[in-house]
Amino acid sequence: MRRLKTNHCSRRRKKKSKDSLNFTGRRFILLIKELLKLIDAEIPFKKAESWDNVGLLIGDMSSEVTGILTTLDCTLEVVQEAVDKNCNTIIAHHPLIFSGIKRIENQGYGAVIHALIKNDIQLIAMHTNLDAYDQGVSAMIADKIGLTKQQILLPAEREMAKLQIFVPREDVESLKQALAQVGVGQIGDYSDCFFQLEGQGQFRPNASASPYIGTSNQLEVVEEMKLECVFDPHLQKKVEETIHSAHPYEEPAYDIYRFHATDQFGTGIRGELASSVSVKEWLTSVKEQLNIETLRLIGDSSKMIRTVGIISGAGVSYMKEVAATGVDLFLTGDIKYHEAHDLLMAGLLTADIEHYSEQVMIEGLKELLQSFDSKLNVHASEQSTNPFKAI
């Protein structure tokens, strides 16, 4: 039931229109809160790192979306572009607001905030939650440079809970329905996932019991079904309440335990080239495909490569984990001098492709949002927000 990891381009999924989206006559109406719900269903904001700041940063949940502009960074030029294109919603990869604000003056970042509010433009950030997505920024880079057989480079783990419960055969379907309604049996894109096994259970009610089946002080043998299913741990209270309300027994017999499973989200993307190539030769085309001004290689330029790991933005802090994956080449950005020596010592062939290589997400996010719902009016920003100029 897990999503198969194949060529990334083949994993684009067509999304049906969501029921939450509204129509008045022939005009499509979407509110900010509905847009956030649409995004969260595929790229959960809770997947962002704890230090990050994602979601609606500036704006009104009840505002109607007139148009969406995707961008890497929100600058004054991007705000003006949104105004010109009648887009009252900007979705940026990098959050404009990271820490607490004590004052907003009409200069620097404050000028951008001032312009957003003045023009009634909503600002949404999709940062590390988009990075963790298997069709996120690293995958968009991988698509751009032609990697196939893509999969998460460093899969995350998540805690799950497993329920094992015994129920009379005639009550098994009603119990499954009740559990499914509170979120039990949800695995990725699948719901109502249960395993069941037939058997016999026995019990002897004492004199003070009020048994659903059987007689006090007499041994009772019952045809039962053993159900097994998983759920998110935060649902445990609801699950236990459902068991006690929907199960026919006065004292239902069940077990709940926790375990860790590989998540569908994680860090970076791993992919392959069609055949082995010289790293120096291949990186020349990568620089052109990503439209970056500088590319620095750390390691042997004559090495032949086929497998590539990508962590968009600044991912050098994962060098040990990436080295353990065995990829031939690691692509990331923002590598410092001493970090480059660390990479040499680790024997991890690495290319610094600039943080700005993430700009591929501008068009990539537009396509992604429209795959969630084709009626979304999305524009890709044409503004360069690269703060560096190669001389």
**Residue 388, domain member (yes or no):** no
Quick one: 88 and 218 in the same domain?
A: no
User: What pLDDT shows up at residue 111?
Assistant: 96
Chain segment 268-300, per-residue pLDDT in tens: 999 999 999 999 999 999 999 999 999 999 999
Residue 52 is encoded by which pair of tokens? 């990050």
**Residue 331, domain member (yes or no):** yes
> For 145, phi and psi rounded to 5 degrees?
-100, 10
**Residue 2, domain member (yes or no):** no
Quick one: 198 and 309 in the same domain?
A: no
Quick one: 62 and 143 in the same domain?
A: no
Quick one: 72 and 114 in the same domain?
A: yes
**Residue 3, domain member (yes or no):** no
Residue 260 is encoded by which pair of tokens? 């860790």
Quick one: 150 and 228 in the same domain?
A: no
**Residue 316, domain member (yes or no):** yes
What is the Cα–Cα distance from 142 to 270, expressed in whole angstroms?
8
pLDDT > 90? residue 76: yes
pLDDT > 90? residue 8: no
**Residue 300, domain member (yes or no):** yes
Chain segment 173-187, per-residue pLDDT in tens: 999 999 999 999 998
Per the annotation, binding residues are 93-94, 131, 355, 358
228, 263, 298 - which closes a domain: 263
Quick one: 243 and 104 in the same domain?
A: no
User: What pLDDT shows up at residue 13?
Assistant: 43
**Residue 387, domain member (yes or no):** no
Closest to 124 measured CA to CA, from 61, 172, 178? 61
Quick one: 151 and 271 in the same domain?
A: yes
Taking phi over 0 as left and psi of -120 to 50 as alpha, with beta for the rest, 300 belongs to: beta
**Residue 386, domain member (yes or no):** no
Quick one: 19 and 80 in the same domain?
A: yes
User: What pLDDT shows up at residue 23?
Assistant: 52
Burial-class residue 15 by CB neighbours within 10 Å (0-12, 13-18, 19+).
middle
User: What pLDDT shows up at residue 211?
Assistant: 79
- pTM for the whole structure: 0.82
Per the annotation, binding residues for a divalent metal cation are 93-94, 131, 355, 358
Between 101 and 185, the higher pLDDT residue: 185
User: What pLDDT shows up at residue 116?
Assistant: 98
H or E element: which one contains 69? strand 68-71
Q: What is the DSSP string of 246-275?
A: H-SSSS--EEEEEEEEEEEEEEEEEEEEEE
Quick one: 177 and 96 in the same domain?
A: no
User: What pLDDT shows up at residue 188?
Assistant: 79
The number of folded domains in the chain is 3
User: What pLDDT shows up at residue 61?
Assistant: 98
Quick one: 162 and 253 in the same domain?
A: yes
What is the Cα–Cα distance from 62 to 34, expressed in whole angstroms?
9
Read off the CATH number of the domain in which 38 is found.
Answer: 3.40.1390.30
By residue range, what is the domain housing residue 169? 156-263
Chain segment 226-250, per-residue pLDDT in tens: 999 999 999 999 999 999 999 998 8
Quick one: 162 and 255 in the same domain?
A: yes
Quick one: 182 and 242 in the same domain?
A: yes
Burial readout 216-254 (b: 16 or more C-beta within 10 A, e: otherwise): eeeeeebebbbbebbbeeebeeebeebbeebbebeeeeb
Q: Are 150 and 269 in contact (CB under 8 A)?
A: yes
Chain segment 153-174, per-residue pLDDT in tens: 999 999 999 999 999 999 999 9
